Amino acid sequence: MNVLVWRSLIRSPHRCMCTVTGSSSQVCHPLNYLDGQRVDPKCTQTFDLREPATGKSLRFVASSNEEDVDMAVRSARREFKAWKKFSGFERGNVLKKAANIIRMRSEELARTEVLDTGKPIYEARMDIAGCADTVDYYGGMAAGISGEFLQLSNGNFNYTMREPLGVVGGIGAWNYPFQMATWKSSPALACGNTFVFKPSPFTPLTAVMLGEIYKEAGLPDGCYNVIQGEGETGALLGNHPDVNKMTFTGSVPTGTKVMEACAKGIKHVGLELGGKSPCIIFNDSNLDNAVSGAMMANFFTQGQVCSNGTRVFVQNSIMGPFIAKIVERTKNMKIGNPNHEDTKVGATISEEQAMKVLAYVDIAKKEGASVLCGGERVVPEASLSGGYYMSPCILVNCEDHMTVVKDEIFGSVMSVLGFDTEQEVISRANDTEFGLAAGVFTNDLKRAHRVASELEAGSLYVNNYNVYPVGVPFGGYKKSGLGRENGPEALDLFTQVKSVYVEMGDVEAPF
Ligand code: NAD
C-alpha cells in the first residue's frame, strides 16, 4: 500500500455510490476469460463461491479442466508471436491506458473485492489505487527494457537482448486478489510475455474484470486469459508443457508442488510464500508510532497478510506502557460490515480459516500464553450472522517455542514477546524458517541500520510496517520464496538474455 495514495483517498470527497452484490454482472457472468471474452469452461465440476461478509453462497463456479487450461495456454501461445513484436513503448502505452481505466473503475473494483474477500472498503480502495500505480509503473518501464553493448577486440562486438520468456502462468492466493493479478501480469506483459492466470477459488471476480480492462486499453485478445479452478486446475497449469514460467503466490506446501512441477519441465519459477515475521520495538522508539506500526503489522485484511509481523518483540523496559496502549487501541477497532465506511475489521475469508485461527488461540492458551483482548468470534449485526468475524487478538506471556509463535496463522493474532538486548532479539527474530519481512522501531539511526542489515528477510521496515510504495521490490528469503515482485527486479525475472556475438573480420579456425 502506498501511504500517499492512502492519504489522498481519505481526503477524497467524491466517490460514486456504486454497489456490487451477488446479482451484479461481475458475479453472474462467466468467469473464465479466453481470447478477450468471458466464457464458461467445458468442465461441469463446480465449487461454491461464498461471500465472507454473510457466509451466503454467491454462485457455483465451474472448475477448469485439462481442455480449458490447454485452450487458455494455446491462446496465449498464439498471441505471443505478435505481442513480443510490439515495441516496449507500444506495450507500455497499453498498460498506462489500463492503469487509467482501473482508476476510473476503482470504486466498482473495490466493492467487488469487498464482496470476494470480506475486507473493509477503505482497505480495498487502497489496494486498487496501488494496483493502478503498479500497472502504470510497468507501463512506464516497458520502453526502457533493453540489452547492453560490449565492444570487443578488432572491432568485434557483442550485444545482448532482453527477450520475453513466452507464456507465463500465474496462480494467486485470496487475500489480495486484484493485486496478485496486476503485480504478476503487468510486468509479464510489459516484457512481451502473454499470461494465463488462475485466481484463488475463494476470490475469482476481479481477475476477470482486469481482462476486460486490458482489452479496453488495447491489449490484443489472447494476451491475458483467466481460468478459474481449485488446486487441480493450478496443477494442470503448472504442469502444462507449453508454459515457460510459473509465478505463484500461496503457502509453502503448495509452492513446493509448483516448484516440483517447474523442475520437471525446467521452467522458470517465482514463489511468493508465507511468513512469520518479526516486528522489533526498542525502548528508545516513539511509543505511539511503534504501537501504530505493530497494529499495521498485524491487523490489515483480518490478519491475512503474508508479510505480517506477528512476532512483536518489545524491549522489556517499555513492555507495560506498550501493552496498555496497544490493547486500548485494538479494542477500539470497529468490527463490522465491510462495506461500511467506518469498519476497520471485516470478515475472515471462510469459516474453515476462522476456525483455524480460533483453534490457534486455544492452543496458545493451553501452552501458557494469556489473551489480553480478542480472539473470539463476533456477530456484528444480525444480518451478518453467517459471516466469519473475529476480534483482533493480543497474546502476552508468549515464548519462542510456542506453536502460535512458530506457525503462520494467517489471522489477527499478535504474539508479544519481551527481550532485553539487541543481539538477543536479532538471534531470536531470525530463528524461523521464514524470511519475508521484518520491522524495527528505534530512534537510534545506527542501530536501525545495524539491525536491518542483520535481519534475514526480503522486506525491511524501519519505523513503519507493511507499506508498499510502487517500485519497491517485494519477496522472501529462506522458505518465504524465490524472486521479487513490484520493482525493477521483476523485469529481469520475466525476461531472458540473448547474447549476440558479431565477427567483423575473417574466421580464424584452428582446423
Ligand atoms: P494455498 O497455497 O492454499 O493456495 C494458493 C493457490 O494455489 C490457490 O489458487 C490454490 O487453488 C492453488 N493450488 C492449490 N493446490 C495447487 C497445486 N497442487 N498446484 C498448483 N496450484 C495449487 O494458499 P492460500 O491459502 O490461498 O493463501 C495463503 C498463503 O499464501 C499464506 O501462506 C500466505 O502467507 C501466502 N501468501 C503469500 C504472499 C506473498 O507475496 N509472499 C502473498 C499472499 C499470500
216 and 284 belong to one structural domain: no
Q: What is the mean pLDDT of residues 198-210?
A: 98
Percent of the chain with pLDDT over 90: 93
The amino acid present at 33, given as its one-letter code, is Y
Find the domain containing 289 and state its range: 278-462
Q: How many CA atoms lie within 13 A of 449 on its CB side?
A: 2
- Asked whether residue 265 falls in the same domain as residue 308, the answer is no
Query: Tens digits of per-residue pLDDT, 401-443?
Result: 999 999 999 999 999 999 999 999 999 999 999 999 999 999 9
List, in order, residues 6 or more apart from 119 with CB less than 8 Å away.
113, 127, 301, 302, 338, 346
Asked whether residue 487 is assigned to any structural domain, the reply reads: no
Instruction: Judge if 238 and 297 occupy the same domain.
Output: no
- Tell me which DSSP letter residue 197 carries: E
> Residue 1 above 50 pLDDT?
no
> Residues 88, 183: one domain?
yes
Judge whether 432 lies within some domain. Answer: yes
pLDDT at residue number 22: 76
Measured distance CA(129)–CA(217) in Å, rounded: 17
Average pLDDT, the chain: 95
From 127, 171, 197, 360, the mutation candidate for ligand 1 (largest count of ligand atoms within 8 A of CB) is: 171
| Ligand 1 neighbourhood includes 257 CB (under 6 angstroms) | yes
Which residue among 243, 246, 251 has the greatest number of ligand 1 atoms within 8 angstroms of its CB, and so is best to mutate? 251
Q: State if residue 265 touches ligand 1 by the CB under 6 angstroms criterion.
A: no
Among 455, 439, 370, residue whose Cα is nearest residue 404: 370
Quote the ligand 1 centre to 144 CA distance (angstroms). 32
Instruction: Find the 286 Cα to ligand 1 centroid distance in Å.
Output: 36
pLDDT exceeds 50 at position 495: yes
Number of domains in the chain: 2
Q: What is the mean pLDDT of residues 112-136?
A: 98
Distance 255 CA to ligand 1 centre (A): 7
Separation of CA 180 and ligand 1 centre (Å) = 11
- Cα–Cα distance list, 94 to 170, 216, 372 (Å): 20, 9, 51
* Residues 254 and 287 occupy one common structural domain: no
Is residue 11, in this structure, part of any structural domain at all?
no
Domain with 375 in it: what CATH number?
3.40.309.10
* 3-state percent helix, strand, coil for the chain, nearest multiple of 5: 40, 20, 40
Contact 177 CB / ligand 1 (< 6 Å): no
Q: Which ligand 1 atom is nearest residue 476's CA? A: 41
The amino acid sitting at 261 is A
264 CA → ligand 1 middle, Å: 20
Q: Are residues 317 and 375 in the same domain?
A: yes
pLDDT of residue 89: 98
**304 and 233 inside one domain:** no
442 forms beta bridges with: none
pLDDT of the residue at 307: 98
**Which pLDDT does position 293 carry in this prediction?**
98
Q: What angle do CA 121, 124, 130 make, to 5 degrees?
A: 145
Helix, coil or strand: residue 482: strand
Calpha distance 177→115 (Å, rounded): 12
Residue range 107-118, pLDDT digits in tens: 999 999 999 999
CA of 450 to the centre of ligand 1 (A): 33
In this predicted structure, what is the pLDDT of residue 23?
79
Same-domain check for residues 50 and 159: yes
Phi first, then psi, for residue 264 (nearest 5°) are -60, -40
Q: Is the CB of 172 under 6 A from ligand 1?
A: yes
Ligand 1 within 6 A of CB of 249: yes
Q: 159 and 28: one domain? A: yes
- Catalytic residue numbers read 272
Ligand 1 in reach of 117 Cβ (< 6 A): no
Q: Which amino acid is at 60?
A: F
Query: From atom 8 of ligand 1, which residue's Cα is the shortest distance away?
Result: 200
Indicate which residue's Cα is closest to atom 19 of ligand 1: 235
- Alpha-carbon distance 281 to 292, whole Å? 11
**CA-proximal residue: ligand 1, atom 42 (nearest):** 306
Other Cβ atoms closer than 10 A to 96: 17
Residue 234 lies in a domain: yes
In sequence order, the 6+-apart residues with CB closer than 8 A to the CB of 366 are: none
Specify whether the CB–CB gap between 98 and 224 falls below 8 A: no
Tell me if 214 CB under 6 Å of ligand 1: no
Whether residue 8 is contained in a domain is answered as no
Q: Which residue has the cell 513503448?
A: 89
Pair 292, 361 in one domain: yes
Q: What DSSP string runs through 255-272?
A: HHHHHHHHHHHT-EEEEE
Cα 138 to ligand 1 centre (Å): 24
Ligand 1, atom 13: nearest CA belongs to which residue?
A: 231
Q: What is the DSSP string of 38-106?
A: EE--S---EEEEE-TTT--EEEEEEPP-HHHHHHHHHHHHHHHHHHTTS-HHHHHHHHHHHHHHHHHTH
By the 8 A CB rule, do 267 and 241 touch?
A: no
Pair 332, 228 in one domain: no
Contacts of residue 230, defined as CB under 8 A and 6 or more positions apart, other chains included, come to: 47, 63, 201
Examine the pLDDT at 253 and tell me if it is beyond 70: yes
306 lines ligand 1 (CB under 6 A): yes
Q: Are residues 125 and 262 in the same domain?
A: yes
pLDDT mean over 281-300: 98
CATH number at residue 65: 3.40.605.10
Q: For residue 265, is it within any domain?
A: yes
User: What's the rounded Cα separation, in Å, for the pair 171 and 288?
Assistant: 38
Among residues 233, 255, 273, the one where a domain terminates is 273
Find the 173 Cα to ligand 1 centroid distance in Å. Answer: 5
Picking from 462, 488, 505, the residue at the C-terminal end of a domain is: 462
Q: What angle do CA 281, 418, 330 make, to 5 degrees?
A: 65
Tens-digit pLDDT profile for residues 6-65: 444 444 444 555 678 777 888 889 999 999 999 998 887 999 999 999 999 999 999 999
User: Mutation test of ligand 1: which of 66, 306, 410, 472 has the most ligand atoms closer than 8 Å to its C-beta?
Assistant: 306
Contact 490, 471 (CB under 8 A): no
Are residues 311 and 417 in contact, defined by beta-carbon separation less than 8 angstroms? yes
